[in-house]
């Protein structure tokens, strides 16, 4: 019996069990990484609730009254994010946690009457835990649905750049949330038999699911309408007409840069519909902005659009991007800015588009540090060879 017991495998020690538990909880993240993630989550939550809070102090209002006014606004901003049933559960849990239980004594003649109330703090804590579990359950279901939406959205974006004569192309996007409102694509225009290629970079107003849904409609309209004959301005006008029918009276608009490139003539025709001005960086180092176009799509039906035109030479770069690149913020709320962006472009002008794109995204990430990404980041680099 003793020998059999000695041969029995020993289980993990207490320290090993604690180590495994900690590794599973933290997913291998270091303490500084956990702290950075906490700060990022805290900033995101603060922005969520503070956007509904008026922190401006009116003249003549005492400091303590102003403090209680802000506290009241924060309380309601948080409470109204919950369903009515969960609000009642939360309020009940908070109330119960203020009843620790007590005992009163009364003397009546020769009798001593004792009345005790139960300690309700445990029940308050259990209700709070139940509320937490329900919120986590909702979050898991939502995360699963968002993951499916992310996979669907990935199907709408090109996995790799097409082969375009005389061009090297690289593109990438970094969503601020699970799904994004940015769009990019490069494809041969249907019916042109490779004589021209369409390039598009777009940014739907808003974020997350609503923006992603409108991004899908933008992609569908571009693919469908590009198959119809007509000039680039006619194509953009048709897309604007379609966007106006789905924009909630202009509240859901889309900025877009749409260009048509003809490899044989190296001619680029473009329309800038209210988008960040793309940059043409010439081989000489001179930078030109592509600003000709019109207003964003979806604001006004029948809005006029104009097109610009230029010839690209070997060594020139075309850079189209969304505002998430230049408006990326660091913890001090300073923006990355177009000046730093241009410095990176000139610095890497001799690199391949993919190499320069990787360097730019790394520089943006280095600049932002552990600050939360508040907007989608999309960049398309095209080099003429």
Across residues 86-99, what is the average pLDDT? 86
Give the integer Cα–Cα distance in Å for 335 and 331. 10
Least confident of 21-25, 27-31, 99-103, 121-125: 99-103
Average pLDDT over all residues of the chain: 86
- Structure confidence at residue 344 (pLDDT): 96
Structure confidence by residue, pLDDT tens digits, 156-175: 888 888 899 999 999 999 98
Q: Which of 49-53, 137-141, 161-165 shows the highest mean pLDDT?
A: 161-165
Q: Is the alpha carbon torsion for 119, 125, 128, 129 positive or negative? A: negative
Phi, psi values for residue 123, rounded to 5° = -65, -35
Going 204 to 210 to 216 to 220, the CA torsion angle's sign is negative
pLDDT confidence of 14, banded at 50, 70, 90? Answer: confident
362: three-class secondary structure by DSSP? helix
In this model, does residue 305 exceed pLDDT 90? yes
Give yes or no for a contact between 169 and 380, defined as CB atoms under 8 angstroms apart: yes
The pLDDT value recorded for residue 203 is 93
CA distance 218 to 211: 10
For the CA atoms of the chain, what is the radius of gyration? Answer: 29
pLDDT tens, 325-383?
999 999 888 999 999 999 999 999 999 999 999 999 999 999 998 887 888 999 999 99
Q: What is the pTM of this model?
A: 0.72
Residue bearing tokens 């006008």: 237
Which pLDDT belongs to residue 201? 96
Q: Which residue has the higher pLDDT, 362 or 18?
A: 362
Q: Which CATH superfamily is domain 158-384 in?
A: PPM-type phosphatase domain (3.60.40.10)
Read off the pLDDT of residues 55-73 as tens digits, 9 standing for 90 and up.
777 777 777 777 888 888 8
- In the chain, where the domains are located: 74-102+114-156, 158-384
Q: Running DSSP on this structure, what letter comes out for residue 328?
A: -
**pLDDT, tens digit, for every residue of 208-245?**
787 888 888 899 999 999 999 899 999 999 999 999 88
- C-alpha distances (whole Å) from 258 to each of 105, 292, 297, 325, 363 are 82, 11, 11, 19, 27
The residue among 97, 94, 85, 65 whose CA lies nearest residue 135 is: 85
Evaluate if residue 207 carries a pLDDT over 80.
no
pLDDT band at 2 (very low <50, low <70, confident <90, very high): low
């Amino acid at each position: 019996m003793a020998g059999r017991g000695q041969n029995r495998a020993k289980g993990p020690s207490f320290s090993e069990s604690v180590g495994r538990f900690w590794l599973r909880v933290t997913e291998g993240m270091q303490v500084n990484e956990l702290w950075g993630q906490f700060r990022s989550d805290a900033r995101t939550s603060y922005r969520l609730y503070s956007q509904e809070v008026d922190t401006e102090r009116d003249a003549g209002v005492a400091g303590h009254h102003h403090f209680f006014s802000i506290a009241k606004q924060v309380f309601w901003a948080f409470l109204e994010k919950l369903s009515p049933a969960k609000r009642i559960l939360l309020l009940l849990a908070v109330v119960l946690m203020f009843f620790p239980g007590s005992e009163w004594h009364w003397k009546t003649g020769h009798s001593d009457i004792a009345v005790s109330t139960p300690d309700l703090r445990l029940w308050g804590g259990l209700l709070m835990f139940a509320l937490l579990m329900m919120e986590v359950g909702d979050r898991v279901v939502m995360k699963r649905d968002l993951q499916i939406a992310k996979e669907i959205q990935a199907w709408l974006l090109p996995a790799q750049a097409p082969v375009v004569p005389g061009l090297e192309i690289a593109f990438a996007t970094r969503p601020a949330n699970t799904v994004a409102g940015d769009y990019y694509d490069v494809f041969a225009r249907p019916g042109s038999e490779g004589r021209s290629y369409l390039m598009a970079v777009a940014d739907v107003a808003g974020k997350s699911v609503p923006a992603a849904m409108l991004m899908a409609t933008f992609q569908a309209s571009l693919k469908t309408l590009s198959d119809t004959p007509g000039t680039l301005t006619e194509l953009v006008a048709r897309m604007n007409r379609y966007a106006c029918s789905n924009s909630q009276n202009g509240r859901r608009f889309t900025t877009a840069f749409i260009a048509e490139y003809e490899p044989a003539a190296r001619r680029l025709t473009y329309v800038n519909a209210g988008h960040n001005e793309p940059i043409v960086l010439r081989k000489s180092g001179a930078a030109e902005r592509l600003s000709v176009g019109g207003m964003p799509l979806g604001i006004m039906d029948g809005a006029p659009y104009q097109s610009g035109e230029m010839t690209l030479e070997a060594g020139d770069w075309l850079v189209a991007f969304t505002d998430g690149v230049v408006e990326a913020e660091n913890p001090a709320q300073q923006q990355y800015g177009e000046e730093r962006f241009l410095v990176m472009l000139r610095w890497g002008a001799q690199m391949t588009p993919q190499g320069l794109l990787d360097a730019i995204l790394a520089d943006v990430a280095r600049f932002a540090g552990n600050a939360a990404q508040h907007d989608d980041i999309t960049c398309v680099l095209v080099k003429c060879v």
